[in-house]
Structure 1
Amino acid sequence: MNANESHCLQLLRDADPDRYLSVLYAPEEKRGALAALYGFNVEIARIRDLIHDPLPGEVRLQWWRDLINGTEHGEVVGNPVAAALLEAIKTYNLPRAAFDNYCEARIFDLYDDPMPSRNDLEGYCGETASALIQLASLVLDAEKAPAQADIAGHAGVAQAVTGLLRLLPLHRRRGQTYIPADILAAVGCSAEMLLEGTDKAAIKRAIDAMIALAEDHLGKYEAAAKSLPATLRAAYLPVGLTRMYLKKLKASGFDVANETPVVSPLRRQWTMLRASMRSA
C-alpha cells in the first residue's frame, strides 16, 4: 500500500470506521484501491459540512467529476485521495460513468429540498451506496461482480436508508428531509412536522415506515446473499451491520429524531467478524 492509499485508510479509520474494518478483511493487494474508493465517498459526503451555500459545493463536486473524467487540468499533488482514486480507476478499469452518476446524486445533499418520493430515495441510494458496493466488487473480482448488480442494489438501499435514519438528528438541525414526501403523507406527517418536531406520534410513524423500507431491501439482500461469490464478500461486509443498527433504531422509537443510538465499537467489530466468518 503506497502513501496515498495509507492516507485513505487512515481517513476511513476516523470518518467511516465500518468501511475501514471491511477493508481489513479484503485481500491485502486490494485494500489500497478499496480505501481510495471509500475515501472518495468520505470526501464527497462531507462537502455539506465545509460550505455555507450550495454553489461552492457544486463547484467541489464538479472538480471531482472533471478529475475523474480526465478534464481537470489541476495537479492532484497534495490531494492523496484524488491521486489514489485515479490510480484505482486506472488499475481496475472502473467505470467513470458510475462516479459521475454518484456525484450527480450527491447534489441533493447540498440543498434543503425534500425528497419527493420513495422511488427518488431508492434511486439516490442506488447511485450512491449501491454503486459503491458494485465498484468495490469490481475491484475484488471484475469477472463475477456484474452478475451481482441486483444484490448490490438491495444491499445499498438497505444500508443507505439505515444510515439516513442514523443521521436524522443532523439532517433535522440542517433543515434537510430525506424521508420521502409520499411516505410522510401516507403516515400523516409532513416535512414541516418532521423538522419542527410538532407531532411525535406522526414522526415515529415516519421513522417506522423508513425502518420497514430498509428491512424490506435488507431481507431481499440476505436471501440472495447466500449465493454471493466468496471473492466479493468484503464489499458487502458493512451491510452486515445494518440489521444491528435497525434493531437499535427500532428500540429507540421517536428518540431517533433527536439522538443517534450508540453502538459500541466492540460490538460493531464483533458483528463484522461474525459476518466475515460466515462469508469464508
Structure 2
Amino acid sequence: MQSIISDYVRQHDRDHFICSLFVSRSVRRNYLALYAFNIEINNIIYDCSETMTALVRLQWWRERISMIYCNKAVNDNQVILELANVIYSAAIPEFLINDYLDGYEQMVYQPFYRNTPNLEKIAAQTTVTLIKILFTTTIQNYSNDQLAYHCGVAWHLMNSLRNTTTERLDEETMVSIVERAEYHINQVKKLIKTAPKEIVKITLQTRLAGLYLKRIRNKKSDVISGKIGYPLINRPLKPISDSHFAVKTCLCSSNIYCRNSLKLIR
C-alpha cells in the first residue's frame, strides 16, 4: 500500500515527493500519506466548478475522518487507509485535521487570488496547519507554531504565484506576494537554527519556494509565463536508486540547507 501512496504523490506532487526523500525513513511513510491526503483535498478545491459539489466532497472527508477517530473501519480507498494509520500511530489531534478542512472550506467561498494579507490568512488555516500536523507526526507532541507559520505561508504564497495566470493577478499584487514569501523564507532560515534536525528536514520545501521566487526575480517584467508556471521539478525524475544515493550523500552533511543538498532537485 505504501508503494501505491508513494507513486501517487510522485505523480501528482513531485515537489513534496522529492522532499520526502530527504526525511528519515521512519518519517517518510507519514509524510507521504499526509501529502496524498493534501492532494485529495486540493483536487476538490481546484477541480470542482460548483460550490455545492466541493462542499459535499469535503463533508464526505469530514465523515470519514470522524469515523477514524471513532475507531470505525474505513476502507473507501488507500489514501484514507494510510491516513488512518498515520492518525493512529502518531496520535494526531482531531482538531488539527478539522482546522485544516475548515480552512479549505473557506477557500470554496472565496476567490483564489485576492490581496496578500488574505492569502496569508488562508495559508494560516490550510498549509500552516498541515505543517503543524507534519511536525507532530515527526516528533510526538512537538510544537513550533512560529516555524510552522512561516514555512506554511511561504509555500502557500509561492504556490499561489505558480498556479496563477496573468489575467487573475496584477503586477503590483505579484510583487507584494513575492516580497512577503521571501520574508517568510528568511524567518524560516532563522528559526531552523534551534530546531531539531528532523523538523528542519520538513521545512526543506521553503528552499524549493526560494528557488522558484529566484526564477521570478530573474524574469523581471515577464514574471508570469508558461515556463515559470510549471512545477519546479517538471522534468523526468531520476531512477529511485539514484535518488536514494543522492539523498544518502546529501544527509552526510550536518547542514541540510547546504548548497550541495539541492543538486538532486535542480
Q: Which residue of the other structure, out of 16, 41, 56, is the alignment partner of 1:59?
A: 56
**Offset from partner CA, 1:211-245 (integer Å, 9 cap, x none):** 01111111111111111111212311212211111
Matched, 1:166 2:162: yes
TM-score by length of 1: 0.76
**Offset from partner CA, 1:40-94 (integer Å, 9 cap, x none):** 0000011135433110111111111122123899963241101111110111011
What's the secondary structure of 2:55's corresponding residue? helix
- Deviation of the 1:252 alpha carbon: 2.7
Counterparts of 1:162 and 1:114, CA distance in 2 = 13
Aligned match of 2:214: 247
Matched, 1:9 2:6: yes
Gaps of 5+ in 1: 173-193, 198-202
Counterparts of 1:123 and 1:79, CA distance in 2 = 32
Aligned match of 1:138: 136
Q: 1:60 to 1:236 in 2, by over 3 A?
A: same
Counterparts of 1:72 and 1:47, CA distance in 2 = 22
TM-score by length of 2: 0.80
Say whether the 8 Å CA contact 1:36–1:81 is kept in structure 2.
Answer: yes
- Greater helix fraction, Structure 1 or Structure 2: 1
**Residue 136 of structure 2 aligns to which amino acid in structure 1?**
L
- Deviation of the 1:265 alpha carbon: 5.4
Aligned match of 1:154: 150
Aligned match of 2:101: 103
Say whether the 8 Å CA contact 1:134–1:149 is kept in structure 2.
Answer: yes
- Deviation of the 1:208 alpha carbon: 0.8
Say whether the 8 Å CA contact 2:116–2:176 is kept in structure 1.
Answer: no
- Deviation of the 1:259 alpha carbon: 3.0
Aligned match of 1:34: 31
Say whether the 8 Å CA contact 1:7–1:81 is kept in structure 2.
Answer: no
Say whether the 8 Å CA contact 1:33–1:139 is kept in structure 2.
Answer: yes
What's the secondary structure of 1:43's corresponding residue? helix
- Deviation of the 1:153 alpha carbon: 0.5
**Offset from partner CA, 1:86-127 (integer Å, 9 cap, x none):** 110111011111111111111244345366654432221112
Q: 1:19 to 1:103 in 2, by over 3 A?
A: same
**Offset from partner CA, 1:160-205 (integer Å, 9 cap, x none):** 1011001112xx6xxxxxxxxxxxxxxxxxxxxx53x8xxxxx222
What's the secondary structure of 1:94's corresponding residue? coil
Say whether the 8 Å CA contact 2:138–2:199 is kept in structure 1.
Answer: yes
Counting matched residue pairs gives 245
Say whether the 8 Å CA contact 2:150–2:187 is kept in structure 1.
Answer: yes
Counterparts of 1:72 and 1:224, CA distance in 2 = 33
Say whether the 8 Å CA contact 1:204–1:253 is kept in structure 2.
Answer: no
Q: 1:275 to 1:168 in 2, by over 3 A?
A: farther
Q: 1:55 to 1:72 in 2, by over 3 A?
A: farther
Say whether the 8 Å CA contact 1:125–1:157 is kept in structure 2.
Answer: yes
**Residue 138 of structure 2 aligns to which amino acid in structure 1?**
L
Q: 1:227 to 1:119 in 2, by over 3 A?
A: same
Aligned match of 2:74: 76
